[in-house]
Amino acid sequence: MNYFGAILGSNYEFVLHVLIPEGGSQIGHIVNGELSGRTLNGSLTDYAKKLISEKVYLEKDFVTDYVGEGPRGKKFRSSTLFIKDSKGVLQGLLCINFDADVYRKVAKDVLKLVNLSLDIEHIEMKTEQEQPVERLHDNVSNIIYTVIDKDILESGAQLSPDQKKLAIAKLKEYGVFDIKGTINEVSDIMGMSESSVYRYLQMVSRDYSIQK
């Protein structure tokens, strides 16, 4: 995977999911994980779970060219390769996510040179209309664990105001609060009331506005 990452460059993310015989999965290796923000602690996306539960791998060796969505609504061209043993039993998945933003920008710049504004509008409209079938960023818990130790959270210890603000800022950075219903999930994980989550989110949003 490092080999492919070196060849194709930083706009490609490679994620190897290893299925555990007893059930579940783990990320065995990841290259350019900063694109989606996922880590080795991450889990399968809901779309990947759907592919497995529907046993798509029995009929196909791979699924290509679907739209994935990462932090802050960034869209990726995504593909999944099913890794099977000699008997066709699924062992894992290799997921490849391509960030095409830089190439869209090049295409629009070229069209601007020849004054084809309608074609630029078409590219922007098609990009906007693309509906993601997969959410790529880590789940809420794993994002929080990057800034607050998991043992501290699970012990029920009282978090300091700075810890709360840092965690909320990280979640906002990943676009978590753009998803309906996450306020309640965050309050449960962090042992905070929903009103407290809203208050810290407002504080973080104000800080962002000042920085801009």
Q: Report pLDDT digits (tens) over 180-194.
A: 677 888 888 888 899
Residue that finishes a domain, picked among 48, 83, 101? 101
Q: Are 63 and 77 in contact (CB under 8 A)?
A: no
Residue that finishes a domain, picked among 84, 101, 118? 101
Number of folded domains in the chain?
2
Q: Per-residue pLDDT tens for 49-60?
A: 889 989 999 999
pLDDT at 69 over 60: yes
Residue 131 belongs to a domain: no
One domain, residues 9 and 88: yes
pLDDT band at 195, cuts 50/70/90? very high
DSSP code, position 56: G
Distance CA 11, CA 195 (A): 39
Residues in the chain: 212
| CATH number for position 57 | 3.30.450.20
One domain, residues 90 and 144: no
Q: What is the radius of gyration, based on Cα positions, of the chain?
A: 20
Residue 56 belongs to a domain: yes
Residue that finishes a domain, picked among 54, 70, 101? 101
Which pLDDT does position 101 carry in this prediction?
77
Q: For residue 145, what are the domain limits?
A: 140-211
pLDDT at 83 over 90: yes
One domain, residues 83 and 17: yes
Q: Per-residue pLDDT tens for 1-16?
A: 899 999 999 999 999 9
Q: Are 90 and 21 in contact (CB under 8 A)?
A: no
Which pLDDT does position 29 carry in this prediction?
94
